[in-house]
Structure 1
């Protein structure tokens, strides 16, 4: 793979990441159109899943698209829709000469068909540039299409000794402003946020996004409870009901210990974000309870560190579930 292909596919993937949390149930795709090693247009999937990234980039490019190269982070759609022509149809019509695709679409309606349709129209098509980065950027979409549920992220704000609150329940605020701002960015990238009944009762959280310019990206709110529904909240009676969620690629669990324990015990957490504050609490409330492990040997090999960085006085640790 050439350095130029890596560069431009990186631009496409970055555009797609900027739309994370806005496109479900569609994927957050990014696309750029390049001529003479210069980007002439770019786009990301629109809010609610339309327009598609390729359509936006092609409309911006206009006649300049003729003979150019199109980079897209996901195979262009090929299944018919009453919302407009397929991307696999409009790309050749726009005069694009070459298409570079990061990864094939797992949706069986398109899988391989978009690539085949482009080649049948005489376009040069290459697949595999920055494939893993592209799949990572659309992890929630890939999880929903292949496993039938959203990607599930558990967020925990902890002290050095792993406590989420004092014995009294006081937890505001364990982390500082930089960590809390990062949590709001994660909220903006989620389609739904879930908390347990205890957190609702204790904190009555709004769970909105309060970062300047991103206020409209506040996600849907869900409550894990076997009790009566609460106005303004969607209800899940068990973790397994994530398989019934409609239009959710990314689910963020924000609190508290009961919800965290339930999802970990059900082995439905794919990613853990730990915001660790430089303070010791000692006796206090644990982040999770019993999750079904009875031997240390059973705990090994289940999680791996995927990222970490300082956030002001705090530190973010990111862990990914290791699955066979």
Structure 2
């Protein structure tokens, strides 16, 4: 945040914005809409309302905060709205938040992240035209972190893609006889289910679907299905058997009859999927890497040596070390005996 922004934003407003970030995180992570939080402050500085977006079709955070203020019997005229994302300026499943704030008599709006979505953007300008004092770009890095994959998806015009790998220390995903349960620990598997719960879709190839008969569900530590399940996507031309676990309880099953990752993402973009988890196998994983369509890698690595068996990635067509796909490590997290390495392709740095 610049010195000019610091001068324009009171300490109490920064505190309110950080609380709004906490509210935003209560919203669903894997849906088509962003996680947004809002806090309303009276002219005297009291918090008079707060809210967050609970998912597609529900009130946006600003409107939820206005409803909360009304329920408390407080007057919003002259109030300050502190929001994590620029109020929308369009009518979709709900009306424009900019108009709701204007109608409520809000006098000032503090915004963390300007909305990059051309369909919804323009709220700050509309508010200014109505005489509302608006400050944008406040704690923007923190705001972008809360928006996560949604923001990257909107900026790229396609779903954000996380490639998940679960391997032995020597990069194998199964033993020579094909057995793979379990290379990684129970701690890693629980963590991977939490990751599944945050995405809109899980992608595997028909080879994995037929060989492993996965369910591709997101479950909690007790083995129960999470309330919101990701779309289950199988890429390839072979059919999924009628009795496959993919046809059991869980998210909708979608078969995309192609081997082109760009076509897969186009189909998922049309379905408003913002975050895709590619779980394999090696052929599909390599196809996404070759296409330059992997934005982040989550590599669960177990201290196990196999010496033989299928690798995590099929041939990438790389013949020299200079052509290697290099990544920047973002974090390393111990998970029981394993470690999770989160890394991003170096092209993201450019």
**Normalising by the residue count of structure 1, what TM-score does the alignment of the two structures yield?**
0.89
CA gap 1:40/1:183 in 2 versus in 1, 3 angstroms: farther
Query: 2: CA distance between counterparts of 1:234 and 1:70?
Result: 41
1:22: how far off?
4.3
Q: Report if aligned partners of 2:88, 2:97 keep a CA contact under 8 Å in 1.
A: yes
Superposition pairs of residues 1-324 of structure 1, within 5 angstroms: 1=6, 4-24=12-32, 26-35=33-42, 39-62=47-70, 63-64=73-74, 66=76, 67-81=78-92, 83-111=93-121, 113-211=122-220, 215-228=226-239, 232=247, 233-236=253-256, 237=258, 238-241=260-263, 242-245=265-268, 246-299=271-324, 302-321=326-345, 322-323=347-348, 324=350
Query: 2: CA distance between counterparts of 1:114 and 1:98?
Result: 13
CA RMSD of aligned residues (A): 2.4
Report the more deviating stretch, 244-253 or 302-311: 302-311
Q: Report if aligned partners of 1:207, 1:218 keep a CA contact under 8 Å in 2.
A: no
Query: 2: CA distance between counterparts of 1:214 and 1:40?
Result: 36
Query: 2: CA distance between counterparts of 1:128 and 1:291?
Result: 40
1:281: how far off?
2.2
CA gap 1:165/1:54 in 2 versus in 1, 3 angstroms: same
**Normalising by the residue count of structure 2, what TM-score does the alignment of the two structures yield?**
0.83
Query: 2: CA distance between counterparts of 1:249 and 1:155?
Result: 16
1:191: how far off?
0.6
Consecutive unaligned residues of structure 1, counting only runs of 5 or more, are none
Q: Secondary structure of 1:146's match?
A: helix
Query: 1: CA distance between counterparts of 2:312 and 2:75?
Result: 53
